[in-house]
Structure 1
Amino acid sequence: MPVTASSRHKVELALERELLRLRRRLRLRALAWGFFSAVVVAGVGGAALALAHPLVASHLALSGTAALAFLALVGWGLARLALAPLWEPLPADRLLSAVEHRNPELYERLSTALYLYRSDEVDKYRFSPELVRATLSFAEARAELGELRQGFSWRPVLYPLAWCTMVVALWGGLYMLRDRWVLPAWTGYRSALVGHFPAEPPLRFTTSGDLYVRPGQATEIGARVLGDAPGKMLLELIGPDETRRLVEGEARGATTYFQIPPIAADHSYRVFAGGHFSREHRLTLLVPPRIVRWRWTITPPGYTGLAVERVVTPSRRISAPVGSWGELSAECNWPLARVATRGGLLNVSVDAGHPRELVGAMEFASAAAVVVRLEDVFGQIADETLEVSLVPDHPPEVALSFPPRLWHPPDKTTSARLEWAATDDYGVDSATLVFRINASEANEDRVGLYGPGVVAGTVEATTNGFIGGYLWDLAPLRLLPGDEVNYWVEASDRRPAPGGPNLGRSGVHTLRIPSLLEQYSDQFESQAAQLESMEDLLERQRALAERVKQIRRNLEEKQRNIMLGKERPESAWEEEKALEEALRDQEALERQMERLREAAQESLSVGEEERRRATRTEEKRKKINELLEQILDEKAKALRNRMREAIEEMARQMDARQLETLEIDMEEYEQQLDRLLDQLQNLYTERQVEQMLERAQELAEAQREISERTEDARDLGEEAQSKEELARQEEFLAQELEELAQQLERLAERNAESNPERSEMLQKAADELRQSGVTEDVEKAMEELRQEQFSQSLQSQRQAQGKMDQLASRMQQMQEAMGGPDMQMDIEKIGAVARRALYLSHRHEATVVAPLFDLSRTSRWSEAGQQRISRELDSYRAETARLVALLDEAMREVPFVDDRAGRALAGALRTFRQSVRAAEDEQPASALPAANQALRFLNETVRALLDSLSQMQSMQQMMQPGGQEATQQMLEQLAQRQRSLGQRLQRLQAAPRDKPGWQEMMDRMAEEQKAIREELEGLSEQLEKSKEQLGEAGEAAEDMKEAEELLRQHHPDDPRLKEKQEQILEKLLQGGKSLKRDEFEKERQSEVAKKYPRPEVLDRAGPGRDLQRTLLRRAEGLEDENLSPRLRAPASNYFRNLAEEL
């Protein structure tokens, strides 16, 4: 393209405009420093003048302000001289030599620019971005090296001197303002507010000061002014809520007295006269003395070491062992004057160092009620009573109520539900199941009753008892037929250390696995009965056949005799009758055989139907797995496998009620698979349509780029090679459009059976794509390009582009039309039902179960209590019915809801109906089991719904890219378990080692540490780069292994064990934080990449194309060069405008 005068003038104007903008910015920065200091100091001086003018002589204010203004001008002048080098240009040679060693890259750019400026062919390079960039580099070098001047530079001296001068001026001005102008001005303004303008100093008051006020008693306050009072004196009474009121006084000589009415809370007051106030004083309300709390320490007999401190509940009752002693102390909210006791409290005295506390020693030898009378310094008296009850020191009583002492587990049962109860005066702390297998060598193990997800029981606070249950999983024992297991329950009480808890033990029970002969004895008896009945049937058939033969022989003989005339015809009637009876017996036998045949045929048909259903179920499961393989990515697949293992592990730890609900109908299970398959098929179709929509948009964008290049080729005259390349691209577009149409047809065929409407919509989209002629337009454009008919090809390309845009819009509408319910909406729907069920369970326990438990101690209802319980139960029955309807609707729409929730909620509804009848007819003790059963059903419903929500959230995480949130949640759970293990270890260290079960508890904690380590190692194996993704948490496995060894060696006091526990917990917490930080960094980098994309390299045809390409490629990295931030935006805009002009 030839260079014209017009284009050269445009470039010169652009360059001058950029340089002028840069110089103006540098000047403004130099002026800003000077004007900033001048404005700050002048503003302070002006404020001082405004405040001081009404009170002091004007010449002082003017002289001070003038001095400050002079200092400000001096500071501005010095700053102006210090920043003067930025205004003076430097010679090019001087600038080049100055930056040679300081910035080599800048030196290279300046050398290139100097060569271009001094070249004879400067007009040839005037339009190049390299020349503009070099010019900006000169300006940047002058800005960075502004201190380089000919001769000596005063900048290092003047710049600090200017700042010191301004700081001294500001400090002197503030000091002068504080002492001379600000305080007098503020006093004058306050006087002006009340209508007075005093010229003398503030008044001085003398008042009664802080006072103590008795309840219901008026108070008199006196106040006077030192000097002459310029007016009437008033008192302002301030309440606790900042309410204010004025009280008028009575003058008695020089003192004014104010009568304050009785107050109910603490107040404050101040006196006002002549526009001046006194300081505030407090009026504190005296209340009768009361004991804030009883704090006592108890040491059991035989121990003189560490005592256990407890705070008594507001009931002020103490339960202590017989023969123990302790120290008793109380705190009062006022200083005590005298203390009197009665009832066994010895040596009570007031602590001299703490006059608000009393301390006494007490021996718990007999029950007593201790009365303490307190009198404070104000004469207030109060009595407090402490009741002491003695408890015997014995181990807890433990009993196993179910099953009986010798029992056989039912067939196909791998778990046992144990019900137990324990009572103790101190309260039961924990219970442990102990068993021993007698079939082989001694094998003793312990299983804690407090496991995750196990409902242990309810606490009875009045009897210090505990009742509960435990699901004992027998599968890990690998019991064989004929084995016997002895088991019992051990419970420890809450007796305080150092004596440690007592251990109680229940009776020994026996579990016996029946032998094979016993297991199959019923089947053998049934088969023997069937065989015996079959033999009897055959015997009857044989006897009947002989009987029929004999009757026929007799009948034939009778007929011959009748024909011969030996007998009369009536004689054959008995044989005919016997033959008819035999035929009826034969028919009965045939009917019985037919029933047996039909039963056998029915069993065969049922088995065949079960086999067909099993085949269909297996095929549907395979389809579901195939869809999941196509939808999920690698991380989601790994997470799904992890979930499957967790579900299998959870199935082995489920309680009896959960195991009972696992056996579902095969037809119901097939319906669940159908719902899940339909949901996944819809999800797969939506994903495919979304991908096809993105592909259609990409094709439309590619066609737009081809059209632009075709237009450039038409204007600039491309070579044959470029034309052939454009034709190949058009051919590729035609193939992609054909593949898109085929993909729509395949997707329509796949949805033909499951969703005919969606299949019809997809087939219609494929037909519209083929009938639109977009493929023909692309092929036509390709042929015209090869024939060098650019104008005709450009027209065909534009037609094809418009049709592609219509195709993308049509597919977007189709995607919006076929979009099913979102997974998040399903989660919110199930979550609403779960929250409602949880609220219903909580309210039922608080308003029905707890009152029924209290009423069960009485023998009969009270009329008010019965009506209230019946009304509550009826309302809960109605609410449960509505909840059942909501859950049925949710189960029809969402295929992931656990069916246990529906069955448990239906059971809750039935139990509520029974409980309503029981509450109306029976006693409270009889109505309590039904209410407890309803509560258990509601809790089971909540648990099933929460499991469903967890499954749905896991599937939602699998459907979405990335799984760091699940990994972070698992790390938090591991950290919580590790913290709980450390707390239990601390409690175990305080117990004596000679107590029974101490070593077993250490072994159990070592096993738990091993389980945590194995889960962490599994998480590390699941992730490809554990150290980078888990951070320090990936290194905690080694520390866990060392802690496990120390626990197995029974060394709880080893300092290394405590150190390892702290390190493990810290690393787990740091691992969760590193995951959050990595996720934030990835998100931030993606946002930055979207916000600041790198410029594309332009490839324009024509003369000088190689030179332009080289210059623009070098200009591409302008943002990454050593340009100052103030130059990056102007340079980037300039190059963008220059590229558009060229």
Structure 2
Amino acid sequence: MTNNNYNDLINKLDGFIRKYYKNQLIKGLIYSFALVLAFFLIVAAVEHFGHLAPLPRTILFYTFLAGMLFIMGKFIAVPLAHLYRFGKIISYEQAAQIIGKHFADVQDKLLNILQLKKQSEISASETNNEMLIHASIDQKIKEIKPVPFVNAINISENRKYLKYAAIPLLAFFIILFSAPSMIKDSTQRLIRHGTQFEKPAPFEFVVLNEKLQAIQQQDFELKIETKGNEIPAEAFIEIDGNLIRLEKENINAFHHHFRNIQGNQSFRLFADGFYSSAYTLEALPNPVLMNFQVSLEYPAYLGRKNESLQNTGDLVIPAGTKVIWNFNTQNTDFIRMVFQDTVIRLDRSGQNAFAYNRKFFRNDAYIITTSNQFLSNKDSIRFGVSVIPDLYPTISVEQQRDSFSTKRTYFKGLVKDDYGFSGLAFHYRFLKSNDTLENKRNKSFTDKIAVSKSNTSDQFFYFWDLAQVNLMAGDEIEYYFEISDNDGLAGPKSTRSQTQVFKAPTLKEIAENSEKSSQSIKDDLKKSMKTAEQIQKELNDLNKKLLDKKELSWEDKKKAEDLLKKQKELEKLLEEMRKKFEQKNKQEQEYKRVNEDILQKQEQLQALMDQVMSPEMQKLMEELEKLMENVDKSRLQEQLSELKMDNKDLQKELERAIEHFKQLEFEQKLQENIDKLNELAKKQDELAKKSDEKNADSQDLKEKQDQLNKEFEDFRKDMDDLAKKNDALEEKQNLPDTENQEQSIQQDMKNSSDQLEQKKNNKAGKSQKDATQKMEKMAQQMQQMQQNMQQEQQEEDMQALRALLENLLRLSFDQEKLMQDLRSMDINNPQYLKVGQQQRKLKDNAKMIEDSLFALSKRVIQIQAKVNQEISAINMNMAEALKNIEDRMVPQGRSRQQFIMTSVNNLTLMLSEALNQMQQQMAKSKPGTANCNKPGNSKPSLSEMRKMQEELNKNMQKMKEKMEKEGNKPGQKARGQGWSEELAKMAAQQEFIRRELQKLNQEENKDGRNALGNLEDIAKRMEESEKDIVNRMISEQTLKRQQDILTRLLESERAERERDQDEQRKSNEAKNLFQRNPAEFEEYKKLKLKEMELLKTVPPSLNSYYKQKVNEYFQSLEK
């Protein structure tokens, strides 16, 4: 028991000892910190204020180090070692004394226990004593056992020692914040105690540049700032032993410029006797772009020589140009080219050489930068590339319509492009076509036009003759020019001129315009008549006044001048009227196939109008103008008398022209109405066939029928107009009354329209066929009437002309006999008076002939204007001869009689010629008339044969349908006698058409060129059809053959029409003065030749820009 208690006591003493040394360690740490910090502050102060050399600084350093180690060893290391029982530690007795002093209850008890324990160990042999000792020890241990020995050590009491550490710590922070250099700099110098340190300046140099690095061969600005208690007024930089004053910016800021730095540069800063540490300015190698070359490779199609440029980065180039850069550099590892859409890195292609190429198609910009391992994107240079795009060509066109023909157009154009052309073309397309033989609608046509491909501008001329494309009334053609450039990159670009549309007048518009022109011409003729009558009246009045005067007064002269002026105005009016008539005829002939007789009468009437103002009259007016300058009364009277006679003839010709014009209007209108009725019948028949089709659209058919109804209504108006034109004639024609027929046709057409509205197509078809038959019948009647009327008129006129010739011959014989009687008769002979009476009788007879002849000349256009002039001369000479005979002036009378005989003979010859012309014309028009209907007496045209064939095909189709209804199979021979007569007629018709076609082929194909097609082959196919008809075997094959025959006849008809038009065009070109190459077009061609000659003078070595400028200059000269 005793041992256990003692062991516990010892353990408690060990715990006390450990806490004792722990307390010693904490106290030591506080002492050490305070002492070391105080010692450091003392050492730092000594070093700071002493500016010690390296040796004293070293001694001081190691003294501080030794002192610090001693303090730390004594106050930290020793307690720490004792804490872990290293070294000599306090004994239990010493510990007991410390504890006894702290606890009053313990006092010496703990020490006594330890002593008793020690005594017991000494007297271990004495048993009684040992037991007493152990009992005493146990008793004492129990008494002190509750006492906590460790509480004798109070660690918190160490706080009172912190004040010793706080004093130096506070001093440290005060110094650190107030004079940090004392701590920092001294510490640095102590650590580097072997290094020589200059005496610290009262200020410091601060280099503001982030890096002391400069680019080689460039400038560098060193920026410095001074800080400290004292600020120097000036500062210097030491370079290679030389001091250079720094440039002062403000009180404590300085700078210095290093110029063209070639290599690394060392320097120090100096001020107020203090130097800074050494600095080094590092020179970085500069990546420099020394020079570069730009090669330009132009697209081949430009024909432009490649170029090379030196140190030129801003480029103006055509699109598609290949640009090649070759760079020469120094200290450069790579080059960057930054474009708008990409960044290109160029690596070396040789020593200090870089290259890159690129094609440009649009504007761009690029930046060139050089780089090496030290510097990136150095020497940034910005350039621009302006790309001239290959622009679209331009075209401007002027057009001039032929004043005599709307089908002829002359174009002058100018094309321009930046580099040249690849082609020029004229395009036209039919928007609307009324050609029944060829469907040209929406068909496009192209004419190539020569253009200078190498020039950047060119002038062209083009003549367009629509007659060559068979333009018909109502057709519409759009046209434009198209110029293409020579773009070799994206392909030729094209530009069109403004698209224009030529609208040929419709037949209705032509008729309306013709009607307006006719009315204008008639008005001009009537106005001319009135003017001529007024001139004639004033001539009579002036002649009467001059008879009573010896000398001309100023008033008489003025009146003569006014008469001459009015005569000129009349001449001008007649010329305008003549041109109007010529223009009207040409416009009608352009778009209408004018009947040959009508065409001949138009030409004859045109000739009549050309001769209204005779050359003699024009010459007389010129003489009168000269005479007015040197007035001679007798000569003026003579000239006025002649003018009076000429003016009278002029009145007659005008009156005659008016009547012939009215007659021509009537005949034209009659022919137009016949043609229109035939056309309506054809359209109605085609519509009737469509109505018979099973799935025909009733609404569409009704619309077409309504249109036909409207056209027929217009036809009825044309018939009314025809009647009015007939009423305007002096000798009216006997027109049949067609009112009932017209009403009947109109009713049938109306019925068909109503039936179509009710969707009764079959009934509508029957009404349409009835209307067709009635129209065909009415057209035939009108055609027959026209032929009869023409023939009767011709016969009547020929009979009247023969009678006039007989009377004229009788007059010639009587005048010749009277002239012989007067030659041998004395003026005193009593029979002399009978000569005068006989001459007066002949004069009266001549006057009757004149009236009859003038009346006939208003119906017969073949009678020339000279005829009326000659009969007027006869009557004038008759009057003069009668006067001379009465005045017994026989020689003068006989001279006048001789003039009469000459005029009578001339007149007889002219009338005989007119009679021959009428007989020839009548002989030509006889075949095909009502008096000669037998086949063979006329020679049908291809058009007529085609119509006959078309009618025969219809009849054969109907015959086949009848045969099938009565049980005959297709292709089987027909039975029965009911069709024999009809089949025989069909065979005869086909034979007639075939024979006429063979005759036509013999005439037209003499040269073997088959200009109208292979007519012989068509005739052979007709012969095969004849055999089928005779054998009563009309099959589908037969009908198909017939349709093929009809198609080939249509082709031959078209070929004939084109040939006729070409011949007519050539004929007109031979007659007209203003045709394919009018004065304006010839001028255009001269300009073109002039321009070509000028272009030959342009040196070929000039580049495209200067060539273009030269061309523009030439064109400005032409303007």
- TM tier, shorter chain? under 0.3
The higher radius of gyration belongs to 2
TM-score scaled to structure 2, two decimals? 0.27
